[in-house]
Each structure stands twice: as structure tokens, then as C-alpha cells.
Chains A and B, each alone.
Chain A
């Protein structure tokens, strides 16, 4: 797969507190990942894990404290001129979480799309802009008559589709979708998720899908990045990660996903869940060491001293076999693509922290 965007050691700190109590919040710390062409990458993590900050760094809304982002091989920090900025924001647009506040209530929804077309594709004539607006509306599953509506006349799902239509109008290569479905009702979420896969398959767009909902991530994404406390805990093809999570945090996250089709959990599993009430830390002036340590049941001495780096797991394990034995889908496993930031997993131990 051709690489579209790469983040190298991306870091973003925020200064908090007054002059005398100045401290540093490490929202994103030394994060490296890549997004390929025609790929949906899910970025999952708890609230406060830094996933939205990553999206804003990629969208150039924040400047990184350290590290860099390469888009099509060129650093985005080199973008200076208005023209280049415009081109980049057209190629990498954002779709926001709240469809109720991301559309302007006083204009018809066509206004937003036409404006994007005027800004990003000045070569189009007025008539071509109209035609193109209709085309993108049809791609996202809205009729052309919807263009004349006001945002308040649309349902939440339709408004979120308008958000995608606006992003699509500028002929994007990568859409940064920050929790695009979390405010929508369950019954219409699936429609939006299907739209995202359609954009990848027929429009060739890559999507960074930021979510805390692992099940929806599995439904649309090719690869999964799990973030914890500003760092990446685990990366891999999503089916692999779900079939055999290596990082204790990934295991915790997966064990907490409610599954209505599964039998009720055992009393022991429930008792274990009561004990697990830790919360993701706010990373203020961190010391070296694993950030998951306070919640980790399998930690060793080194975890408190050295921050684990994200590394490819070298030991090969029969994940696919184990999954098949458990009555699940067998997944072709290529361990070389799995990266984990955990000392214990890296030492070759098969971590079983939460089940």
C-alpha cells in the first residue's frame, strides 16, 4: 500500500497553570504512524487519550511541539503560502463530531458546499459548481433537493452526511473524521459507517476514523491504532488486534465492549470489572515509565523505570489457531505488522491481563 501520510515522533504539549505553577500537559507524546492510500485507520482510545489532538495536528490546527507530519512525502510544516494551505486543507478536511454545531444555521446547506467549491476549485464555473454540489450530495446519499434545505430541517444523520459532502467537495485524499457518529442514534449510525466504506471504495479516499467505539471501528477500518495517555499502545490490522490484543490496555478496552449477542458474563468476570475502576491519567509533567502501570496487573520492575517504545513484536504466535479454536473467525496473521508498546509483551510473554 502506498503511504499517504506519515507522522514521525509527533508530540504536542500544552502549557497549563499560571506563571508560578507552570506545568506541561503532554497531550500527544512521541507518536508515529502512517496512513496508506485508500485506507481507513481507526484511532481509538478513552477520552483524554490525545486522539483528537492528533487529528488537529494533522489538520494543521495545532503546531506540533516536536516531530513532524509528512503528507505525500513532504513535511506539512513547510506549508507557508495561502495557496498551499488551502490546497492542504482541501486534501485533508475534517468532519466534526457534532453535526448540530458544525453547519451554519442561517444558510441553506448548499452554501457550505458551494463555498468549499469556490475556495478550493476556483476553476469551476457557477453552473459546474452546482452540478458538482449535486454530485457530492448524491454520493453521500442525500437527494439534490436537500441542497435547498436549512440545517434545522435535516435530521442528525443527514446533517452529518452534509459534513461529509462538504469534505468531499474539495476532492480530499484523507478525511479526518473525529467521532463522526457518536452523537447519532444507533439506527442511523450504520448508514454513516457504510458511507465511509463507500467513500474509500468508490472515491478512493483514506479516512482517519477517531472513535471510542471499537465495534464500529472494526466495521469500517482496515487498521487500528490504540492510544493511551498520549501515546500509542498498539497498532495492527484491526482483525488481528481484536483477535489477539497484545497490550494489556487493548485487552482491557476490548473486554469492556458490551456484546449483546454474547452470554452474560460470569460472576468472576463481573467481580474483576468492579475492581477495575482506574481512569486514564492526565499526563502532566510525566516521569519515565509505562503510563498504564497503575492499572496494569502484569507489570514488572522495568515498567516503572523505562517508558516502553512502540516496537514490532518479533515472537510469532498462533493467534489465528487460537481464535479458530475459540469458535471465532480465523484471521491470517502477519506479526510483522503488529507493533506494541509494552515491556512485558515485548519480552515474549503472552500477556493475558483482562479477558
Chain B
């Protein structure tokens, strides 16, 4: 349903261009749940904005296409995009606090979105707004509430309700739970999953917390320094991560059950995208580096249905490493 191919996004800065998203390709099927994980600055939010065509200068899509339901979003005009947004594709932003208009009631904001897509009479507007609010577990009396009167969790739910006004085919979520505590976080995740099962929309869910999506997403995309490090089935990646970065990320989570083991985390810091190295971008932090990593840029290679960007899995270098 959604096909991202070769998407590249660059930021023009004083010190030249920074390639925040570099040649990213993947597909999302109908009703699929794709989790995108990565550290701050790895380009995951930029990727998301690139898909939704929400980038504003100095960011610019320099290559690639985003094909949604057979049409290339990158080539569309604003007017064409406006017709698709909310109706077929909606976005839930990271901070509902900032995404909702503080001087308008929740109901008025829902009505705005509905009117923009041709629902103009009052009755269906109110009926639909109440319906979606009920879907996310909020009492419809809150249509009259202003954002500040809702708690953080309720605001996030209201944002999700708004995204579901037209029962879109794809909902893009940018860390919708990051401001919530664990209990609220889990109940929101479960609810999102529940709604997905009922309504059948696909989800792209961006987060920095890998453990959050471990039980909810079908597929997982691990991003590092603007590129796909590893992409494949979620359970498979959690069970046997291939890329040293995914492995490091997984091992960086202390568990609350099982024996307590000392953890190391990943040494070093996320890379600066304005200086692209010749070899592998993960090299400075990699515990398994080899000589050719400094000179060869690894490509994505397929292994057991998982695509991974690491020379360890390129057949000829495998021998060299051992």
C-alpha cells in the first residue's frame, strides 16, 4: 500500500548539506504495523516527515519516491496532498500538547478537519466526533473541553481519535507515548493495537524505545545515521538481532525479570551526519569491526528474510572475519 523507495532527505546548512535520510526503501502493507526505532538524530523523524510530505526548508527531498495507494506523494501539489491528508493518511505528532490548538475546544478542532473534507452539516460532525472519541475511550463530553483541561494521556488519545476521523488507510505516529508514564503508555499501545484490529489501518510507529514496540509491531526498521541498519520481522529481530547496532540496543535494556547482568551499552555517541565516513557509519562504536569496514560502505544484504547493512553478512568478508 505504501512504498518508499530510495528516499533521501537533505538539510541545507551553513556547512554544506546534511543527509538526514539516505536512500531508505521499504513497503508497508495493508493493516501492517511497522515500528521504526533509532536514537535521536538518526533521521527517524525526518523520514516520517518525508513520507507525510511535511518537510519544510531547509529540509528537502532530493531523491526517491513515496508511493501511496498507487500515487507518488513526492510529486503531488499541496492541493492534491490536502485531499489525501486526514482522509487516507493521517499523522499523530509527538507532543499532543503542541499539536492541539490551545484556544479551541477539542470538538472545534475535530470539526475543522471534517469540514475541510466536505462534511459540512453539524449533525454528522458531532456524531462522528463523539464516535471517534468513544473509540479511544474518552467520554464525548470532552468535545467541549480545551486541551489544557485534559491530562497528558487523554490529549494523546484525542490526537489519535482525530487521526481516525475518516478511518484512514495509514496512520503515521511519531513517538505518541513518549510523554506518558509506563502504565498510561502500555494502555495506549494496547488501545492502538485494538483499534488497528477493528479498523484495519496500517501504522508506522516511530520511537526511540525498542522495548515499546516489541510486542506490538509486525515489522521493525532499525535506523542508524540516516540509513536502514536492519529491517525485518519484529520477533525475529528481537530473537536474533543481526546488526551489531540492533544487538547493542537490545542489550542496553536492563530487564526487570531474570538474572541481573552487567550491561555495557554502546560506547561512543551517535554520529554527526554532516561528516559522512568512507566506510560503515557504525564503525566507531562497533565491537565487531573488521579492517574493510573503514573503507567499504556496506549495502543491505538479505539474510533469512531480514535485510541487514553489515559486512559481517556479506559472504566473502564472513570468511575474512573468522
The DSSP consensus for interface residues of chain A is: helix
Closest Cβ neighbor of B187 among chain A residues = A277
Known contacts: A185-B40, A215-B253, A256-B185. The answer to whether A329 contacts B259 by CB under 8 A is yes
Does B186 lie within 8 Å of A256, measured CB to CB? yes
Does A259 lie within 8 Å of B256, measured CB to CB? yes
Closest Cβ neighbor of A154 among chain B residues = B269
Closest Cβ neighbor of B42 among chain A residues = A185
Closest Cβ neighbor of A274 among chain B residues = B190
Closest Cβ neighbor of A273 among chain B residues = B190
Known contacts: A155-B269, A259-B211, A265-B215. The answer to whether A186 contacts B252 by CB under 8 A is yes
Does B214 lie within 8 Å of A258, measured CB to CB? yes
Known contacts: A258-B215, A279-B153. The answer to whether A186 contacts B256 by CB under 8 A is no
> Does B87 touch A at the CB level, under 8 Å?
no
**Inter-chain contacts of B208 with A (CB < 8 A):** 185-186
* Residue in B250, B262, B269 with the greatest tally of chain A CB atoms within 10 Å: B269
Surface stretch bound by A, among B125-133, B176-184, B300-308? B176-184
- Within A150-187, the residues touching B (CB, 8 Å) are 155-158, 185-187
**Inter-chain contacts of A252 with B (CB < 8 A):** 183
Distance between Cα atoms of A190 and B265 in the complex (Å): 5
**Inter-chain contacts of A193 with B (CB < 8 A):** 254, 263
Does A260 lie within 8 Å of B265, measured CB to CB? no
> Does A262 touch B at the CB level, under 8 Å?
yes
Does B211 lie within 8 Å of A260, measured CB to CB? yes
Contact of A189 among B151, B182, B265, B267 (CB under 8 A): B265
Does B252 lie within 8 Å of A187, measured CB to CB? yes
Count residues of A near B (Cβ-Cβ below 8 Å). 44
Does B256 lie within 8 Å of A215, measured CB to CB? yes
> Does A108 touch B at the CB level, under 8 Å?
no
* Residue in B40, B191, B215 with the greatest tally of chain A CB atoms within 10 Å: B215
**Inter-chain contacts of A259 with B (CB < 8 A):** 211, 214, 255-257
> Does B23 touch A at the CB level, under 8 Å?
no
> Does A125 touch B at the CB level, under 8 Å?
no
Known contacts: A260-B210, A264-B215. The answer to whether A274 contacts B191 by CB under 8 A is yes
What mask results when residues 129 to 163 of chain A are scored 1 for a CB within 8 Å of chain B, else 0? Answer: 00000000000000000000000000111100000
The DSSP consensus for interface residues of chain B is: loop
**Inter-chain contacts of B183 with A (CB < 8 A):** 46, 252-253, 256, 276
> Does A216 touch B at the CB level, under 8 Å?
yes
* Residue in A155, A193, A260 with the greatest tally of chain B CB atoms within 10 Å: A260
Distance between Cα atoms of A279 and B157 in the complex (Å): 13
- Within A270-307, the residues touching B (CB, 8 Å) are 270, 273-274, 276-277, 279
Contact of A328 among B152, B182, B258, B267 (CB under 8 A): B258
**Inter-chain contacts of A320 with B (CB < 8 A):** none
**Inter-chain contacts of B257 with A (CB < 8 A):** 242, 259, 261-262, 328
Known contacts: A273-B190, A274-B191, A328-B257. The answer to whether A212 contacts B181 by CB under 8 A is yes
> Does A214 touch B at the CB level, under 8 Å?
yes
> Does A59 touch B at the CB level, under 8 Å?
no
Does A187 lie within 8 Å of B265, measured CB to CB? yes
> Does B39 touch A at the CB level, under 8 Å?
yes
Shortest Cβ distance from A202 into chain B, in angstroms?
15
Does A218 lie within 8 Å of B254, measured CB to CB? yes
Known contacts: A273-B186, A277-B184. The answer to whether A216 contacts B254 by CB under 8 A is yes
Closest Cβ neighbor of A46 among chain B residues = B181
Does A188 lie within 8 Å of B238, measured CB to CB? no
Known contacts: A212-B181, A214-B182. The answer to whether A191 contacts B267 by CB under 8 A is yes
> Does B112 touch A at the CB level, under 8 Å?
no
Known contacts: A253-B182, A258-B211, A273-B187. The answer to whether A215 contacts B254 by CB under 8 A is yes
* Residue in B209, B257, B260 with the greatest tally of chain A CB atoms within 10 Å: B257
Does A258 lie within 8 Å of B270, measured CB to CB? no
Shortest Cβ distance from B213 into chain A, in angstroms?
9
Does B210 lie within 8 Å of A190, measured CB to CB? no
**Inter-chain contacts of B215 with A (CB < 8 A):** 258, 264-265
Does A258 lie within 8 Å of B186, measured CB to CB? yes
Closest Cβ neighbor of A276 among chain B residues = B187
Distance between Cα atoms of A197 and B97 in the complex (Å): 36
Contact of B265 among A47, A191, A254 (CB under 8 A): A191
> Does A107 touch B at the CB level, under 8 Å?
no
Distance between Cα atoms of A46 and B259 in the complex (Å): 26
Contact of B258 among A257, A273, A329 (CB under 8 A): A329
Contact of B252 among A190, A261, A270 (CB under 8 A): A190
Distance between Cα atoms of A277 and B254 in the complex (Å): 26
> Does A219 touch B at the CB level, under 8 Å?
yes
**Inter-chain contacts of A261 with B (CB < 8 A):** 238, 255, 257-258
Does A274 lie within 8 Å of B194, measured CB to CB? yes
Shortest Cβ distance from A243 into chain B, in angstroms?
9
Distance between Cα atoms of A253 and B182 in the complex (Å): 7
**Inter-chain contacts of A158 with B (CB < 8 A):** 269
Contact of B266 among A187, A214, A265 (CB under 8 A): A187
> Does B249 touch A at the CB level, under 8 Å?
yes
Does A187 lie within 8 Å of B39, measured CB to CB? yes
> Does B117 touch A at the CB level, under 8 Å?
no
> Does B85 touch A at the CB level, under 8 Å?
no
What mask results when residues 195 to 230 of chain B are scored 1 for a CB within 8 Å of chain A, else 0? Answer: 000000000000011111011000000000000000
**Inter-chain contacts of A256 with B (CB < 8 A):** 182-183, 185-187
Task: List chain B positions with a Cβ less than 8 A from chain A.
Answer: 39-40, 137, 151-153, 181-187, 190-191, 193-194, 208-212, 214-215, 235, 238, 248-250, 252-260, 262-267, 269-270, 285
9 further A-B pairs in the complex, CB-CB below 8 A; given A185-B39, A188-B266, A239-B260: A158-B269, A186-B210, A186-B253, A187-B266, A188-B269, A191-B267, A219-B263, A261-B238, A274-B137
List 6 A-B pairs, minimum CB-CB distance, nearest first: A190-B265, A187-B266, A219-B254, A260-B214, A155-B269, A258-B211
